[in-house]
Amino acid sequence: MSSSPEGPAGVRHVSLRRGVYADSVRLMQVSRDLGGRPGISAVLVAMATPLNLELAAGMGLAPDVGARPDELLIALRAAGDAELAAALAALDAALSAREGAGEARAVPARTIGAALSDLDAGSALAVISVPGPYAVAEVADAIAAGSSVLVFSDGVPVEHEVALKRAAHEAGVLVMGPDCGTAIVSGIALGFANVVRPGAVGLVAASGTGAQQVSCLLDAAGVGVSHVLGVGGRDLSAAVGGLATLDALAALDTDEGTERVLLVSKPPAPEVAAAVDAAAAQLSVPVRSAVLSVDSPDLTAAVEALLSDLGVDVPDWPCRPGTADASAPGAVLKGLYSGGTLADEAMLIATPVLGDIRSNTPLRPELDLGTDLAATGHVVVDFGDDALTVGRAHPMIDPTLRLDAIAGLAAGGEPAVLLLDVVLGYGADPDPAATVAPALQSAGLPVVVALIGTEADPQCWSRQADALAEAGAAVFASNSAATRYALSLIGDAE
């Protein structure tokens, strides 16, 4: 070893240690750490290989005596003896330090594909609610992995929906959606769905709230569902052609737990409806339609027909009488809906009685309200329509827009009967009556509520019904019953 004074305030240290070996990477790290200490101007801690001796010589820190490659060379230049001693102590500590071996930090999956690679993808279900422009890649991952997918995201162009559903068909999996808000798969409720009893009726639904209405009524009649397979609101459009509906029907046909199928949809493209009917007729499982149209405007009637197929008595659908037994003369219908299919059903039932109803989701294009939701006359507004949910949560979660509309109607002075839906279940407002009831009470107008839910829902149908009835509303478990009751209030006034 040599430690020699150097210059006015410097110490040069060069030593060799035998029987010490450390990996070159470790030693480079030690050298760097020592070099960062105050008062240390040059450091080389390395095995004394020819290359390292050359480096040491270049730094003016070559050992005086011959060194062997299995010796550890310690060469450094310090400002003074104290700094040198501290550096050598730090070196000893570093060389004897132990690292914890440690566990790999879990690296969470960034994509559906990565997450599915760790699972038995076949029996897994991917649930995708990322922003629309990015949803396609995640859905394609799931299809490629052999998983079915529920796509809650909206804003997916229809041509991409078609491409994904074709790929899913090829892969033997199902794409539910996009814009599919409701599903129950093997007992697991996803999105906006109700706590319904298990049973043997399978639903294929191009309509979320339609599926909720139907499954809740079946539950009230003591009949359970095997699965609710949502297919997305556009599936029965001409562009998509029922791709997922056909696959879902075929899947339920071979499902051991499904004995009957009910197909639920808002008004479809007629040629697609015909094709689906034709396909359904080929299946061994009986398929009944709850597809809304001018000729079959009533989901409750479809449920009742199914119950009769099953030999189950149609119960008295739950309801609570309201305080209003008539409305002011000349009253108009104001439908304020969060569920698009329920709004369609109300318009289909009410139009033959009232004549044309204007809407933001009209039955005919010329009845479009545009942006004037406060228009006079018979009006039904779907607050769940995409145009009204931009930048805000769905009205089943965020009631603000609808509460504002109720207050506006009350202030406007137009004689009216209010007809609205309140949807319970997973995903929905935990206590919708808490905000809706006070608004209805202060509105001072006759109110009819279609309350969609079950006793087992987190919000509990009876509890919500009682609170709404307390505020003066007439409450019905059936939307068609609610609509007819609202029409009767208007009719009584005329």
Partner 1 sequence: MRKPLGGLLSAPPAIVAAGVEVFSAAARAQGADVTDVEWRPPGFGNPDDLTQLALDPRRAAANRTAVERVLAAGSVLVDVRPAREVLDLPDRMLLHSGPPLTWATASGPMRGALMGACIFEGWASDPAGAERVLAAGEIALDPCHHHRTVGPMAGVTSPSMWTWCLEDPVHGGRAFCNLNEGLGKVLRMGAFNEEVQTRLAWMRDVLGPVLQRAVRSRTEPMDVKAILAQMLQMGDEGHNRNRAGSLMALRELSPSIVEVDAPAKDVAAVLRFIGGNEHFYLNLGMPTAKLAMDAAREVPGSTMVTALARNGTDFGVRTAGTGDRWFTAPADTPVGLFLGDYGPEDANPDIGDSAIMETYGVGGFSMAAAPAIVRFVGGTVPDALATTERMYQLTLAENPAMQIPVLGFRGAPTGIDVVKVARTGWLPQINTGMAGRVAGTGQVGAGLVQPPQACFEQALAALAGESRAAE
Judged by CB, which is closer to partner 1: 256, or 295? 256
Q: Read out DSSP for 350-412?
A: HHHHH---EESS-SSGGGB-TT-TT-SSSEEEETTSHHHHTTS--TTT--HHHHHHHHHHHHH
Shortest Å distance, C-beta 25 to partner 1: 5
Indicate whether 371 belongs to the interface with partner 1 (CB under 8 A): no
User: Distance between CA 221 and CA 315 in Å, rounded?
Assistant: 6
* Contact range with partner 1 by CB under 8 A, out of 13-21, 79-87, 127-135, 275-283: 127-135
Binding track, positions 206-245, relative to partner 1; x by CB under 8 A: --------------------xx------------------
Reduce the secondary structure of 147-202 to three states and give it as a string.
CEEEECCCCCCHHHHHHHHHHHHHHCCCEECCCCCEEEECCEEEECECCCCEEEEE
Exactly one of 2, 4, 111, 282 binds partner 1 (CB under 8 A); which one? 111
DSSP 227: E
The tokens for 314 are 């149609």
| Selected binder of partner 1 within 120, 313, 366, 494 (CB under 8 A) | 120
**Residues between 242 and 271 with contacts to partner 1, criterion CB under 8 A:** 250-258
Q: Which of 466, 420, 434, 402 is nearest to 209 (CA)?
A: 420
CB-wise, 18 or 105, nearer to partner 1? 105
Determine phi and psi for 162, rounding to 5 degrees: -65, -45
282 lies in the site for partner 1, by CB under 8 A: no
Contact call for residue 65 and partner 1 (CB under 8 A):
no
Interface stretch with partner 1, choices 1-9, 31-39, 275-283, 319-327 (CB under 8 A):
31-39
Which residues in the 163-192 window bind partner 1 by CB under 8 A? Answer: 163-164, 167, 172-174, 185-191
- Which of 42, 37, 39, 64 is closest to 53 using CA atoms? 64
CA angle 340, 305, 311 (to 5 degrees): 140
- Cα–Cα distances in angstroms (integers) from residue 360 to residues 299, 340, 365, 366, in the given order: 21, 10, 9, 11
459 binds partner 1 (CB under 8 A): no
> Should residue 44 be labelled a site residue for partner 1 when binding is judged by CB under 8 A?
yes
Residue 306's SS3 state is: helix
- The span from the CA of 159 to the CA of 240, in Å, is 8
**Strand 11-17 relative to strand 72-78, pairing:** antiparallel
Instruction: Tell the smallest beta-carbon distance from residue 226 to partner 1 (Å).
Output: 8
Contact 52, 16 (CB under 8 A): no
Q: Which of 11, 16, 112, 347 binds partner 1 (CB under 8 A)?
A: 112
Comparing CB distances to partner 1, the nearer of 203 and 448 is 203
- Facing residues of 187 across strands? none
Helices (H), 146-191: 158-171
Q: Which of 86, 94, 95, 129 binds partner 1 (CB under 8 A)?
A: 129
Kindly tell me which of 252 and 420 has the beta carbon lying closer to partner 1. Answer: 252
Our finding on whether 199 is near partner 1 (CB under 8 A) is: no
Residues 134-153 that bind partner 1 (CB under 8 A): 134, 136-142, 144, 146-148, 152-153
Determine the interface stretch with partner 1 among 103-111, 271-279, 280-288, 299-307 (rule: CB under 8 A).
Answer: 103-111
Residue 217 CB, nearest approach to partner 1 (Å): 22
Task: By CB under 8 A, name the one of 103, 295, 313, 494 that touches partner 1.
Answer: 103
Structure tokens at 364: 């005919």
Residue of 7, 18, 25, 66 interacting with partner 1 (CB under 8 A): 25
Least separation, in Å, of the C-beta of 294 and partner 1?
34
Our finding on whether 55 is near partner 1 (CB under 8 A) is yes
- For tokens 């009949």, the residue is 223
Quick one: which of 127, 319, 347, 448 contacts partner 1 (CB under 8 A)? Answer: 127
Among 72, 84, 91, 116, binds partner 1 (CB under 8 A): 116
Which position among 3, 15, 42, 369 is part of the footprint of partner 1 (CB under 8 A)? 42
The length of the chain in residues reads 494
Contact between 70 and partner 1 by CB under 8 A: the answer reads: no
CB of 34 vs partner 1, minimal distance in Å: 12
CB atoms within 10 A of CB 275: 17
Contact 370, 453 (CB under 8 A): no
Q: Cβ–Cβ contacts within 10 Å for residue 197, how many?
A: 13
